[in-house]
Amino acid sequence: MEAISDGVFAVAMTLLVLDLAIPFASGSRDLIGALADEWPGYLGFLVSFATIGAIWLGHNTMTEYLDHVDPAILRLNLLLLFFVCLLPFATGLLAEFFKTDGAERVASVTYGIMLLLCSVLLSAVWRYAVGAKLVSPDLDDDEISLLTTRLTPGLGGYALLIVLGAFFPKVSIFGYLAVAVFLLLPFRPTLSRRAVRERRSRRRSAG
Amino acid sequence: MEAISDGVFAVAMTLLVLDLAIPFASGSRDLIGALADEWPGYLGFLVSFATIGAIWLGHNTMTEYLDHVDPAILRLNLLLLFFVCLLPFATGLLAEFFKTDGAERVASVTYGIMLLLCSVLLSAVWRYAVGAKLVSPDLDDDEISLLTTRLTPGLGGYALLIVLGAFFPKVSIFGYLAVAVFLLLPFRPTLSRRAVRERRSRRRSAG
Amino acid sequence: MEAISDGVFAVAMTLLVLDLAIPFASGSRDLIGALADEWPGYLGFLVSFATIGAIWLGHNTMTEYLDHVDPAILRLNLLLLFFVCLLPFATGLLAEFFKTDGAERVASVTYGIMLLLCSVLLSAVWRYAVGAKLVSPDLDDDEISLLTTRLTPGLGGYALLIVLGAFFPKVSIFGYLAVAVFLLLPFRPTLSRRAVRERRSRRRSAG
Amino acid sequence: MEAISDGVFAVAMTLLVLDLAIPFASGSRDLIGALADEWPGYLGFLVSFATIGAIWLGHNTMTEYLDHVDPAILRLNLLLLFFVCLLPFATGLLAEFFKTDGAERVASVTYGIMLLLCSVLLSAVWRYAVGAKLVSPDLDDDEISLLTTRLTPGLGGYALLIVLGAFFPKVSIFGYLAVAVFLLLPFRPTLSRRAVRERRSRRRSAG
């Protein structure tokens, strides 16, 4: 499960670059201007990369704490990967239509829904793992609820931004960037992995 | 064998997104309509992703039960990967031609044949492994025949859908989706991997 | 070294699919004809996939026999990956120009040179490993020379086909296919990996 | 961290091939000339591949010496991967605009800045690891400062080339190639990994 997920994350991150528009038609001296005109597309690339990065960080922590997998979690994980694979497409819509007034709103709302679905599914995989007792028995309840909090998507934030995107599509992209930065910043309390490892080995030698 | 297969599965899944048509020419306010018009292409993306996901699940279970590999199984596996790599192309044909009457039938039949070949080859790799005694000696005959049943492709179903696709191409795509969902749903009896691992360690300590 | 190589092989295999031309301009009922017209491109896809598959098989065997790596072999391996990454481009040239008389010859010769360079570099990595004593000490001289023979490229065959490609480009593609099939077929004597593993464990318990 | 990084490096290397322009419009007999005309694009492919290769080599050595990771280094590493993912885009700009006088300068300067940022971030990841005591305790100070020197980017060299690129864009590409070759050549003193491993096992048996 980890190998295919890491593969999909890596490829999806790198495929995003294909959405970066090269302004083919730009004349001889105005490439800087042409590139600057494409800024919402480049901003979308940054947001998508940061969001996939944040999902990967959460996924990585999660798989480290899993003891074993069952058929259902493998399928839930596939569903998560499905929406991660769609992110380059949604980013492409954004990059293509940010100049067209009505279409830009559709693209921004679509993009927000994709980001939301990725977050919801990452959380669903973890919650299923906890419910089905797939997590490592070394983790105590405090640690599990800490990670559950960390992996809970900012549902309210995304819903607000999706609505905002219907009216001010360009502003909403900055909102999505803020969410991604918030997810990436390690300012919430986290268990250091080393601490977990040390505790585990203490328990083992004690047992 | 697992590394390259997982890599190809991950890349093929993600490359499917390149087949998702961005309706470049759509005007300012009709992006929703333009996206809705592309539904067979998006449905094809879903079917291809689900099919590659199902093949990956089967492949993953299979490689877990393999004890060692021989030169022939590596080559059979390469042939499977060959047809998995072709799936994004067949999906692209589908997405491109669903609006053109005659071509749509060709695209649908081609797509069905690719799906069938992937299923047949996955089954062939497993049957070869059983015949050449490459599976783990811990597995008893019941377990092997259970997995053989699981990995047997729905030959009849695919054949029916390929014929159907020659007359009602759009309907057949829903059929392929139904097959993929059937392959993904874990309602058939499966050995839990944990049970297998536990039994193995019991045998080891007993021996 | 194995992770990045397997990654590049998997991605290069899958990227080949992007060279498969979808005949966009084909009318309503002649998609079969349009696809049939593209056969040299599809044959090129098959040859490139088979060649990368053969190189992967050789590379896989080789890395299994390596005991450790040194800075120089990592760089030689990067050079091999460089030419593997160029194969999709050379295949694209072939698919694009097989209808244009003079250009077809250039494309065919370029393609042959790329295949030859990949083969030569795979062999060079192995010969360097043997010369620099990087191979596992468990392998005796017979086994090493057997693998050396296996990894020696069909220099004569490729040289002949490159010259042939300058005059009969379409014929030469069948020749490259024949070489790839020859490299893939396991009819040459090979050490079974199980035998190697068993011998190693015997030696360890003996020592 | 290693899996996703190796995945991104492999995909970015292979995606570079998509920037190689196939001269579609070239007539029947002048494909050699048309390919020769594209030389700056092909040179850019070579430079980007060599640079990603050099960064991978440094990254590979670094992760081997890491004992554990912390949340901050994972995020710094994501930032490095972000700029590695942008390299195919910058290479595409170079390949597209080398014929347009003013745009060529912009493309060359952009490309140089990307190369510089990749180098700076690789160095930053390592320096952070040393500062936060994430490196393996087996490494003594001499070994750490040796690797720090090796991973210090040629800031001066890149800065000079970026300025040069604003005036002589084609010349600067050769400069970037020279830097990449310098980074790849193993002529600077390096610790052999075998030596490190042997020392470690000696210490373990001593302790």
Dihedral through CA B46, CA B50, CA B53, CA B54, nearest 10?
-170
Band of residue C205 on the pLDDT scale cut at 50, 70, 90: low
Residue in chain D closest to C92 (alpha carbons) equals D22
Distance of alpha carbon D36 from alpha carbon D32, whole angstroms: 6
Distance of alpha carbon B48 from alpha carbon B56, whole angstroms: 12
Test the B interface: residue of C13, C29, C43 with most B CBs within 10 Å: C13
Vertex D141, ends D137 and D146: CA angle to 5°? 115
> How high is the pLDDT of residue D202?
52
pLDDT, tens only, B100-144: 777 788 888 889 999 999 989 998 998 898 888 888 887 778 888
What does the pLDDT average to over C8-35? 74
Radius of gyration of chain A (CA): 20
Q: Can you say how many angstroms the Cα of residue D38 is from the centroid of all Cα atoms in its chain?
A: 23
Tell me the one-letter amino acid at C182. F
Interface residues of chain D, partner chain C, Cβ below 8 Å: 2-3, 6-7, 9-11, 13-18, 20, 22, 24, 26-32, 35, 46, 49, 53, 56-57, 60, 184, 186, 190, 192-194, 197
Dihedral through CA A88, CA A89, CA A94, CA A96, nearest 10?
110
Please give the C-alpha separations between residue B93 and each of B83, B109, B172, C95, C192, in angstroms, as whole numbers. 15, 11, 15, 17, 42
What DSSP string describes B66-121? B----HHHHHHHHHHHHHHHHHHHHHHHHHHHTTSHHHHHHHHHHHHHHHHHHHHH
- The larger pLDDT score, comparing residue D157 to residue B113, is at B113
Per the prediction, chain D carries an average pLDDT of 80
Distance of alpha carbon C72 from alpha carbon B36, whole angstroms: 55
- Is D14 among the domain residues? yes
Please give the C-alpha separations between residue D65 and each of C180, D8, D143, D190, in angstroms, as whole numbers. 40, 20, 10, 13
- Is D30 among the domain residues? no
| SS3 state at B191 | coil
Residue B4 to residue C184, Cβ atoms within 8 A: no
State pTM to two decimals. Answer: 0.84
What does the pLDDT average to over D117-126? 90
Q: Can you say how many angstroms the Cα of residue A136 is from the centroid of all Cα atoms in its chain?
A: 24
What does the pLDDT average to over B88-101? 81
- Is D105 among the domain residues? yes
By the 8 A CB rule, do D118 and D56 touch? no
* Residue A187 confidence (pLDDT) above 50: no
List the helix and strand counts (H, then E) for chain C: 9, 0
- Is D31 among the domain residues? no
Task: Among C4, C78, C89, select the one facing D6 at the smallest CB separation.
Answer: C4
By the 8 A CB rule, do D62 and D126 touch? yes
Q: How many domains does chain A contain in total?
A: 1
Distance of alpha carbon D59 from alpha carbon D6, whole angstroms: 9
* Residue B193 confidence (pLDDT) above 70: no
Residue A13 to residue D81, Cβ atoms within 8 A: yes
Give the residue carrying structure tokens 């003996």.
C206
> How high is the pLDDT of residue B113?
92
Output the six-digit token pair for D9: 């490096």
> How high is the pLDDT of residue C72?
86
Band of residue C19 on the pLDDT scale cut at 50, 70, 90: confident
* Residue D191 confidence (pLDDT) above 50: no
> How high is the pLDDT of residue C27?
54
Residue A186 to residue D92, Cβ atoms within 8 A: no
* Residue B181 confidence (pLDDT) above 50: yes
Helices D71-97 and D2-15 pack at an angle, to 10 degrees, of 0
Containing domain of residue A127, as a range?
Answer: 2-206
> How high is the pLDDT of residue C188?
46
Q: Can you say how many angstroms the Cα of residue C199 is from the centroid of all Cα atoms in its chain?
A: 30
* Residue B194 confidence (pLDDT) above 60: no
Band of residue C117 on the pLDDT scale cut at 50, 70, 90: very high
ipTM: 0.80
Supply φ then ψ for residue D118, to 5 degrees: -60, -45
Q: Range with the lowest mean pLDDT among B48-52, C155-159, D49-53, D106-110?
A: C155-159
pLDDT, tens only, A91-150: 888 888 777 777 788 888 889 999 999 989 998 998 898 888 888 887 778 888 888 877
- Is D207 among the domain residues? no
* Residue B207 confidence (pLDDT) above 50: no
What DSSP character marks residue B21? -
Residue in chain B closest to A82 (alpha carbons) equals B49
Q: Range with the lowest mean pLDDT among B60-64, D129-133, D185-189?
A: D185-189
Band of residue C60 on the pLDDT scale cut at 50, 70, 90: confident
Band of residue B82 on the pLDDT scale cut at 50, 70, 90: very high
Task: Among C1, C11, C69, select the one facing D14 at the smallest CB separation.
Answer: C11
Instruction: State the chains in contact with A (3 or more Cβ–Cβ pairs under 8 Å).
Output: B, D
* Residue C9 confidence (pLDDT) above 50: yes
Distance of alpha carbon A165 from alpha carbon B75, whole angstroms: 51
What does the pLDDT average to over C108-124? 90
- The larger pLDDT score, comparing residue A205 to residue C81, is at C81
Output the six-digit token pair for C105: 């010859």
Band of residue C159 on the pLDDT scale cut at 50, 70, 90: confident
What DSSP string describes C138-193? TS-HHHHHHHHHHHS--HHHHHHHHHHHHH-HHHHHHHHHHHHHHHHSTTS----H
| SS3 state at D66 | strand
- Is D47 among the domain residues? yes
Supply φ then ψ for residue C177, to 5 degrees: -65, -45
